[in-house]
Amino acid sequence: MSRVTRIRLACLAAAAVLMAAGAGAERTRMWRQSNYDEFEKGTAKGVALRSDGKLVLAPRFAHFSDPNMAYLWALRLNSKGALYAAGGSNAKVLRFDDKGTATTVFESQEMAAQALAIDARDNIYVGTSPDGKVYKIPAPDAKGQSGKATVFFEPKTKYIWDLLVDASGTVFVATGDKGEVFAVSPDGKGVLFYKSLETHIRSLAMDAKGSLLIGTEPNGLVARVSMTNPAGADKPEQRPAFVLYETEKKEVTSLLVDPAGNIYATSVGEKPRPSPGMPQVQQFVPQTTVTSTGQTVTTTVPMPAGQQAAPFMPFPSLTGGSEVYRITPDGAPESLWSSREDLVYALGLGTAGKLLLGTGNRGLVIQLEGKRTYATLPKTAAAQVTGLAAGAGGKIFVATANPGK
């Protein structure tokens, strides 16, 4: 062995001794993370991250079904607990069994099935867009097989955004781009029930007193249309309409009423601002009366000069974030949550009665813990969460888009 080789080996041995000594001298170090921004950089497993920096146990998040669709828009359960989903493209409605196996019960050539409702007899109503129709799918038979879908009502509008069935079996159809709501009796005869100067009626709900709630675009209004059901009438009759609240955003994407009668509304997108010298958009006061004439209720909502109805896309590129509001039974509005980047597409109630938000474009489900306090539940593997539905045994079904699962 040469002298140079012996020197190299000696140096390597010395380095090994020094490294070992350094490792032995290493002490356990501790650090503390206690705020949301620090925790958000990590990946939560089995826990939910709260906005106040607390970590709490999260519900188990499990894959249920992959129907190989681009997006799902709406989830509904019938009286027997069967789960249905509407989506596209092309327009489809799927039924899922307990194991998540999907069966197609409706398919058409329209781009999307975006609205879904089920009546007390388990008949299914689906609204398609664009230039779509409302189809009726008969209730499934004893073997769970659904009948053939037929055209139930054709509103002759560009978009069908939402459907709602009341206790009498009347189907309310929210449409755009003329800002109309139609009331359709169980035999398929429809009338124009509500007319707004808004471009789109985006969402519907029924309050604790049986009045129809509507959410609009582009002024982000939440309005109430009172109704009566006279004896012998085949359709409800409307009373004066009231604007409950004008939100800070442009589009009310979802409405929900809890068992206590509180109304929850979510609105997204930045409102267009008038140019200098142009008239400002009228500010609305809660409980503003709107006139009613004949079979049509009209809300006089001015549109800023120069603003035109733009093509409406399933997932438009919006700026301005979103906000969630609660309107109490006595009409008092309150902001509960806001975000500059997350857009809320769906609202739901969890097993403990906490409000759930289905959001995009990070695919998050957010649970409100209180005013301005929320928990981020485990992230989905999709861009948008578009539907939430409560099933038996405390299960919450979550529908997504891009991809649709």
At residue 77, does pLDDT exceed 50? yes
Average pLDDT over residues 327-333: 95
Q: Helix, strand or coil for residue 9?
A: helix
For the chain, what is the mean pLDDT?
Answer: 81
Q: What percentage of the chain carries pLDDT values higher than 70?
A: 73
Domains identified in the chain, total number: 2
Residue 135 sits in the same domain as residue 159 = no
**pLDDT single digits (tens) 222-274:** 999 988 764 455 666 666 789 999 999 999 999 999 999 999 999 999 987 76
Residue 139 sits in the same domain as residue 198 = no
DSSP character string of 57-68: E-----------
C-alpha–C-alpha distance, residues 326 and 266, integer Å: 9
Q: Is residue 264 part of a domain?
A: yes
More confident residue, 61 or 367: 367
pLDDT of residue 19: 40
pLDDT of residue 17: 37
Q: Is residue 10 part of a domain?
A: no
pLDDT of residue 305: 40
Residue 202 sits in the same domain as residue 329 = yes
C-alpha–C-alpha distance, residues 183 and 234, integer Å: 10
Least confident of 34-38, 214-218, 365-369: 34-38
pLDDT of residue 213: 97
Q: Is residue 290 part of a domain?
A: yes
At residue 369, does pLDDT exceed 90? no
Q: Are 318 and 253 in contact (CB under 8 A)?
A: no
At residue 345, does pLDDT exceed 70? yes
Q: What percentage of the chain carries pLDDT values higher than 90?
A: 59
At residue 275, does pLDDT exceed 90? no
Residue 240 sits in the same domain as residue 334 = yes
Residue 136 sits in the same domain as residue 204 = no
At residue 398, does pLDDT exceed 70? yes
Q: Cα–chain-centroid distance for residue 71?
A: 13
What range defines the domain where residue 305 resides? 155-341
Residue 133 sits in the same domain as residue 223 = no
Residue 290 sits in the same domain as residue 317 = yes
Q: Is residue 39 part of a domain?
A: no
Say whether pTM exceeds 0.85. Answer: no
pLDDT of residue 289: 33
Q: Is residue 14 part of a domain?
A: no
Residue 174 sits in the same domain as residue 317 = yes
pLDDT of residue 4: 44
**pLDDT single digits (tens) 376-390:** 887 889 999 999 999
pLDDT of residue 215: 98
Least confident of 2-6, 25-29, 143-147, 259-263: 2-6
**pLDDT single digits (tens) 142-200:** 777 888 999 999 999 999 999 999 999 999 999 998 999 999 999 999 999 999 999 99
Residue 201 sits in the same domain as residue 84 = no
Q: Is residue 56 part of a domain?
A: yes
Average pLDDT over residues 349-367: 92
Q: Are 363 and 379 in contact (CB under 8 A)?
A: yes
pLDDT of residue 13: 38
Q: Is residue 348 part of a domain?
A: no
Residue 114 sits in the same domain as residue 203 = no
Average pLDDT over residues 124-139: 95
Least confident of 56-70, 209-223, 376-390: 56-70
**pLDDT single digits (tens) 278-324:** 333 333 333 333 333 334 444 444 444 434 444 545 555 567 899 99
| Overall size of the chain counted in residues | 405
Give the tokens for residue 116. 């879904």
Residue 260 sits in the same domain as residue 227 = yes
Phi/psi of residue 176, each to 5°?
-145, 155
Strand positions, DSSP E, 9-158:
47-50, 55-57, 69-77, 83-88, 92-96, 102-107, 112-118, 124-129, 134-137, 150-153
Nearest partner of 382 among 395, 394, 365, 366, judged by Cα: 365
Average pLDDT over residues 137-145: 86
Average pLDDT over residues 111-129: 96
Residue 200 sits in the same domain as residue 333 = yes
Nearest partner of 269 among 386, 180, 360, judged by Cα: 360
Phi/psi of residue 332, each to 5°?
-85, 120
Domain final residue pick, 289, 310, 341:
341
Q: Is residue 101 part of a domain?
A: yes
